[in-house]
Structure 1
Amino acid sequence: MSGLGVHPLIEGVFQASGDPEGMRKRITQRQLLDRLGTPEDIGYAALYLACEESSFVTGTALFVDGGLTALLEEW
């Protein structure tokens, strides 16, 4: 098979209209970036994987989680 890439996008915690402020603060304190993700964050990651510029990226998952998984050992 040539020219076909399969890449899961692993999402972190993303904004929702009903998110209580206290919950947001607790989550953002436990990740590298001081904010929750947005739909645009996932969209841009998917766009990158669809572009020619990512043609050498294959067989890997892309974590779009604001650095959450980098700090999981601390949880």
Structure 2
Amino acid sequence: MPSWIIEEIVVLAVVGAVLVTVIRQVGVHLRAKAELARDTGYRAIAERSVTSQEATQAALAGIEARMATIERVLADVE
């Protein structure tokens, strides 16, 4: 077998290994980027949820205060 065929086979193997590595790294990069976008979306949802919960708690505190006032008025009437 001529030596140039062996050299070409080795070169093709090395080029193939480099291509596989590059393709794999691009895939890892794209998955990481998608995961970061997903996590950012989840973080935004969590922040909106906390804001909504705080608003609900504030409204509930106002309702409880008015209810206490109504109970005092009713107790005075009796």
The TM-score bracket by the shorter chain reads under 0.3
The structure with the greater share of residues assigned to strand is: 1
* Greater Cα radius of gyration, structure 1 or 2: 2
User: Under a length normalisation based on structure 2, what TM-score does the superposition of the two structures give?
Assistant: 0.22
